[in-house]
């Protein structure tokens, strides 16, 4: 399956990467604004190293991420769980796929008005004979089981309902994510900004990405605009 590779390759350079900054005497803000990938995006080793340098009691993890490598994400979750700080995840635009798993490791999850949250079944690459394919399918099933348990623990929904949502590749708006229990609150922010940040990524690897995140904004014809303004100016001078 090339979907995971395509997701990483297609989004290389589209995010702003990983960085952190002090945003108060007791708070550090970490930005996870890229695909999760050890080659084309943010890797677990860099993320873990970033967290290890943080000594504040609160960490705000700002997320705008189309997902990526689930094993890298699991390592990031472990780094969060082992850190003594209180973590607040803030989805500034998009938390999709593996990025949603990272939110599960945080104490509180907030999502910006206009943001999106998406869960689906795990993807991977496979090569080999029938036994290899069977082993890979078994591994994917185990990964899905872990994800189901995590989402169920966060939302309080039964496992079979979560599994069905993952199977369908379900996208949630900010309010829908809160209503479903994946997020705790919608944060007041310009919805247009959140949508623009989420739209920065190439989501062609996903089957059900909302059109609002994939359709291109109409291009303004500047030539026509300039002519119209010039004509308007002529009318105004004539009227005067």
Is residue 204 in a domain? Answer: yes
Length of the chain: 240
At residue 219, the pLDDT reads 46
Q: What is the domain-level CATH number for residue 71? A: 3.90.226.10
Is residue 231 in a domain? Answer: no
Could you report the per-residue pLDDT of 33-76, keeping only the tens digit for each? 999 988 889 999 999 999 999 999 999 999 999 998 888 999 99
Name the residue among 224, 3, 164, 25 with its Cα closest to residue 98. 3
Is residue 58 in a domain? Answer: yes
* Angle, helices 159-167/130-155, rounded to nearest 10 degrees: 120
Domain residues for the domain of 194 are 3-209
Identify any residues that bridge with 22 across adjacent strands, giving them in sequence order: 28
At residue 224, the pLDDT reads 56
Is residue 215 in a domain? Answer: no
Name the residue among 117, 112, 114, 19 with its Cα closest to residue 66. 117
Under 8 Å between Cβ of 101 and 147: yes
Query: Going by C-beta distance under 8 Å and a sequence separation of 6 or more, which residues neighbour residue 12?
Result: 35, 40, 41
Is residue 20 in a domain? Answer: yes
Report phi then psi at 178, rounded to 5: -70, -45
Name the residue among 60, 77, 79, 69 with its Cα closest to residue 35. 69
Residue 213 has pLDDT above 50, yes or no: yes
Query: Going by C-beta distance under 8 Å and a sequence separation of 6 or more, which residues neighbour residue 209?
Result: 118, 171, 203
At residue 150, the pLDDT reads 94
Is residue 35 in a domain? Answer: yes
Is residue 81 in a domain? Answer: yes
Indicate the pLDDT class of residue 77, thresholds 50, 70 and 90: very high
At residue 32, the pLDDT reads 95
Q: Strands (DSSP E) along 66-177, which ranges?
A: 86-96, 108-112, 116-119, 170-173
Is residue 214 in a domain? Answer: no
CA–CA dist 73, 180 (Å, integer): 22
Query: Domain tally for the chain?
Result: 1
CA–CA dist 184, 89 (Å, integer): 10
Could you report the per-residue pLDDT of 88-139, keeping only the tens digit for each? 999 999 999 999 999 999 999 999 999 999 999 876 666 778 887 788 777 7
């Amino acid at each position: 399956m090339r979907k995971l590779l395509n997701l990483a390759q297609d989004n290389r350079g589209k995010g702003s990467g990983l960085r952190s900054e002090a945003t108060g005497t007791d708070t550090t803000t970490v930005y996870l604004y890229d695909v999760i990938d050890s080659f084309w995006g943010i890797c677990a080793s860099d993320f873990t190293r970033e967290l290890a340098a943080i000594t504040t009691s609160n960490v705000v993890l700002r997320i705008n991420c189309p997902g990526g490598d689930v094993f890298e994400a699991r390592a990031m979750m472990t780094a969060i769980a082992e850190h003594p700080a209180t973590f607040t995840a803030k989805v500034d635009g998009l938390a999709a796929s593996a990025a949603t798993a990272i939110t599960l490791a945080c104490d509180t999850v907030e999502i910006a008005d206009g943001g999106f949250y998406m869960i689906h079944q795990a993807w991977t690459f496979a090569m080999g004979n029938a036994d290899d394919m069977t082993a890979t399918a078994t591994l994917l099933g185990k990964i899905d089981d872990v994800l189901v348990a995590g989402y169920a623990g966060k939302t309080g929904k039964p496992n079979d309902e979560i599994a069905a949502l993952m199977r369908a590749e379900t996208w949630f708006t900010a309010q829908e994510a809160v209503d479903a229990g994946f997020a705790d609150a919608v944060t007041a922010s310009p919805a247009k900004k959140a949508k623009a940040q989420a739209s920065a990524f190439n989501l062609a690897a996903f089957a059900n990405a909302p059109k609002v995140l994939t359709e291109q904004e109409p291009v303004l014809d500047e030539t026509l605009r300039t002519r119209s303004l010039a004509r308007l100016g002529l009318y105004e001078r004539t009227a005067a």
